[in-house]
Chains A and B, each alone.
Chain A
């Protein structure tokens, strides 16, 4: 059979790519311009700030996207995972730091924050698994009718229970730490960056890299993607849906908890600390398309950039306004998000 090969020049290919991904190109292009503008206007240290918070929103939003993509749950108690992580970070780090005041030890003071974050991840994973087994698995067994709405209401209720339960048990006080690393900021490419921020960024990068590797290269990661693409197909090849659901929820909760612990120096721990991270990570997933995990990682940085830009140019109390306005625009113009949604489950139900 004869095949016609269409020769395309580089410019043609580029223009086809740009037209096909127009919303993504516009948003990312705008973000880059904005970032350069901020760097020129206020100095590069704001960029470091954006990268650090962006990494954390990416962790939260990736978990949200994962839970929505695999289980079709719009998770509105995700902020409480952040909150629990912040508390775990506080309660693990504070005793070690008090001990260090009397017994200075360079190695221990270096690893203490890492211990806090790992503890948060473990507690988060257990909490996620327990919640999935106790709340969502029984509902799934009972009925799949109205699943998205029902789970939405369930997660909102769960959020109330966790917030007020925490207030009851631990109290409404703010519990924070002055800093994780008691060392002067480092000069890096003309930016003065606090070591705590570098720590948070390293945590985010390692976690995102590990998540990407897990999802793309391992058998279990592949099974998670399989469940998000075709549940019946996944069952037919021998994948235990219940196990994948519990694992996915535990993974998402652990990532949010890690973010809570890693950002303890910025946010402190108190019962409603998760509200703002929840909103921002929802902005991210709506912007990039529900269920799109890798889009959520890029989106995390874009939202952090918008937030910082708003704080810089409009004032600190405006920082949720611009992301919200952008989200409204995106929902009107490209409802499936700038990178397109990968969620298949909604239409099937």
Chain B
């Protein structure tokens, strides 16, 4: 479904990604892990169209999307839930969600998806009228994921959903991701919480210094010596 071929990305003169290649198949739940500053967020921003790669190719369902602006990438069925969430803070929860379905022209489908995300996150239904800027960190994260779901994406890019959350809220967020995956959504997850991530994902890539250092099934990764030493602290 998604394929990156030797992608190089830089901010002005500072190159972050060096020949990054990875692929995510239909329905897969793939993790991208690595230390701070390795380029995980840059990888997601490149896929989402917020950055364009200097060289290399980004293919989505066989189409090259590397040069497309972010709004067109979003309309193709890729939803990026950024680390800073980018919510519309002076709007209500409902308005945020309806904007998530901005590119959906079918009003009936929009309301169906709204029901679905309210079912997934009942808390958001309770807070329907509240301004998103006044909600707690966990609620905002749920809202961001829910907003990302509103466009019925085929591929969900999730950046550090557990960051700054209490353990039980992290658990809720991961459970929501698993439920989405069961409904057939393909997910590429960037996470700091390596242990839990390897527990729930199918495959994992390890990004170090802007290069893919390792890849493999999550179970094998968990047993790998380098991963155990560097990321699991065992």
A: which residues have CB within 8 A of B? 219, 222-223, 225-226, 229-230, 232-241, 342
Contact = CB atoms under 8 A, between A and B. Distances in A.
B98 A222 contact: yes
A232 B99 contact: no
Main secondary structure of the interface of A (DSSP, over half): helix
B100 A237 contact: yes
Closest 4 CB pairs of A and B: A233-B86, A238-B103, A235-B70, A238-B74
Contacts of A235: 49-50, 69-71, 74
A322 to B, nearest CB: 32
Nearest to A220: B102
A222 B100 CA distance: 11
Given A225-B91, A235-B49, A235-B74, 8 more contacts: A229-B89, A230-B87, A230-B88, A232-B70, A235-B70, A236-B48, A237-B100, A240-B71
Chain B: interface size category: 20 to 34
28 contacts: A219-B102, A222-B91, A222-B98, A223-B99, A225-B90, A226-B88, A226-B91, A226-B99, A229-B89, A230-B87, A230-B89, A233-B85, A233-B86, A233-B87, A234-B88, A235-B49, A235-B50, A235-B69, A235-B71, A235-B74, A236-B48, A236-B82, A237-B74, A237-B101, A237-B150, A238-B102, A240-B71, A342-B90
B176 to A, nearest CB: 18
B160 to A, nearest CB: 15
Contacts of B201: none
B75 interface: yes
A226 B148 CA distance: 15
A330 B86 CA distance: 32
Nearest to A238: B103
B71 A239 contact: yes
Nearest to A342: B90
Nearest to A233: B86
Given A222-B98, A229-B90, A237 B103 contact: yes
- Most-contacted residue by chain A among B82, B85, B99 (CB, 10 A): B99
A231 to B, nearest CB: 9
A223 B85 CA distance: 17
Given A219-B102, A223-B102, A238-B102, A229 B88 contact: yes
B80 interface: yes
B82 A232 contact: yes
Contacts of B95: 222
A241 B74 CA distance: 13
Nearest to A244: B71
Contact of B79 (A222, A236, A239): A236
A243 to B, nearest CB: 9
Nearest to A241: B71
B151 interface: yes
A241 B80 CA distance: 17
B211 interface: no
A237 B87 contact: no
Contacts of B203: none
B71 A238 contact: yes
- Most-contacted residue by chain B among A226, A237, A238, A241 (CB, 10 A): A237
Contacts of A238: 71-72, 74-75, 102-103, 151
Given A222-B95, A223-B99, A226-B99, A237 B151 contact: yes
A237 B90 contact: no
A248 to B, nearest CB: 16
A230 B75 CA distance: 18
B141 interface: no
Contacts of A342: 90
Contacts of B99: 222-223, 226, 234, 237, 239
Contacts of A223: 99, 102
A339 to B, nearest CB: 13
B147 interface: yes
A347 to B, nearest CB: 13
B101 to A, nearest CB: 8
B88 A225 contact: yes
A283 to B, nearest CB: 25
Contacts of A234: 71, 88, 99
Contacts of B100: 237
Contacts of B86: 230, 232-233, 236
Contacts of A226: 88, 91, 99, 102
Nearest to B89: A229
